[in-house]
Amino acid sequence: MLYTLTFPGHCPAKKSLYRQGRGRLYFNKDVRQKIDSLVWFAREQWGDRPPLNVCENIVAHFFVLHYNADMDGKWATILDVLEKARVIRNDNMSVLAKASQDCRKEGAEKTVVEIWSPEHPLFETGEGEPF
């Protein structure tokens, strides 16, 4: 089954949570708020479905304004968001069989995540077959 989640706006890199100043690391509250809003968007779109235990493939499409973005940091953010929103059980290799990302230059920033999973809610509850 294919699930698609869309996150409008900028997706920050996970390592942007901390910034350096005066020889110390500081917590960046703006980035934390943006990540929290991504978790909210994921929960809103996912609804009350149980988290997926197995994902055949997860693909993140990052639509960016400039190609100088930190793709690995954005990817880490998206995996953390999916886990915190209880879309996936966790982001280790036992759940994610295959994962990839791509970047496209667009006029407006957004992130589209496609998740392929063999699981179906009807199978988990034993209520019958999907149509």
CATH number at residue 57: 3.30.1330.70
Tokens representing 18 are 């901390």
**CA-angle at 105, arms to 102 and 110, nearest 5°:** 75
For residue 32, the model assigns a pLDDT of 87
Give the angle subtended at the CA of 86 by the CAs of 29 and 116, to the nearest 5°: 115
Per-residue model confidence (pLDDT) at position 34: 92
**Residue 130 within any structural domain of the chain:** no
Question: For the range 88-93, what are the long-range contacts, defined as Cβ-Cβ under 8 Å and sequence gap of 24 or more?
Answer: 88/51, 88/52, 88/55, 88/58, 88/115, 89/51, 89/52, 89/53
Query: Which domain covers residue 53, as residue numbers?
Result: 2-125
Nearest Cα to Cα of residue 11 among 117, 96, 103: 103
Low-confidence ranges of the chain (pLDDT < 50): 122-131
The number of distinct structural domains making up the chain is: 1
Q: What pTM, to 2 d.p., does this model score? A: 0.80
Residue 43 maps to a domain: yes
Q: 131 in a domain, yes or no?
A: no
Residue 118 included in any domain: yes
Residue 101 lies in a domain: yes
Q: What is the pLDDT of residue 120?
A: 55
Specify if 17 maps to a domain.
yes
Q: Which residues pair with 3 in a beta bridge?
A: 115
Q: Is residue 103 part of a domain?
A: yes
